[in-house]
Structure 1
């Protein structure tokens, strides 16, 4: 196992989990993803097409939820 520095984790409300620092991510299939980026965005909504990474789908899901919550004019 490789040594990793302590990663900083930020949970974005209705968005991704941001990981800063050297880290690895274990996905739902058990695959380990090593990253070299200074910041990685991990999908938390489950809708990303590039899991475990965020592709911005949470924005579309939130917009649809807002549209469904608006009362019909009429």
Structure 2
């Protein structure tokens, strides 16, 4: 979720998170390592696919 800043958020434990940026991305899935800010951890990761091996050896 994008929010225009500056932003001040009170977390469940009473901690206050602040950002002075003009726009911030808030995490709504709680997967972010920098919660409450979004680090795009919600995006599916694609694994590198190895090159196909030659299936018809000579």
TM-score normalised by structure 1 residue count: 0.52
Match of 1:58 in 2: 42
Deviation (angstroms), 1:58: 1.1
Match of 2:19 in 1: 35
Partner of residue 3 from structure 2, selected from 2, 19, 26: 19
Q: Cα RMSD between the aligned structures?
A: 1.9
> How far does the alpha carbon of each residue in 1:1-47 deviate from its partner, in whole angstroms, 9 at most, with x for none?
xxxxxxxxxxxxxxxx1110332111232211121100111100111
Q: How many residues align?
A: 46
> What stretches of structure 1 move > 6 A for 4+ residues in a row?
none
Could you list the runs of 5+ residues in structure 2 that have no partner in the other structure? 47-58
More helix by percentage: 1
Max Rg structure: 2
Could you list the runs of 5+ residues in structure 1 that have no partner in the other structure? 1-16, 64-74
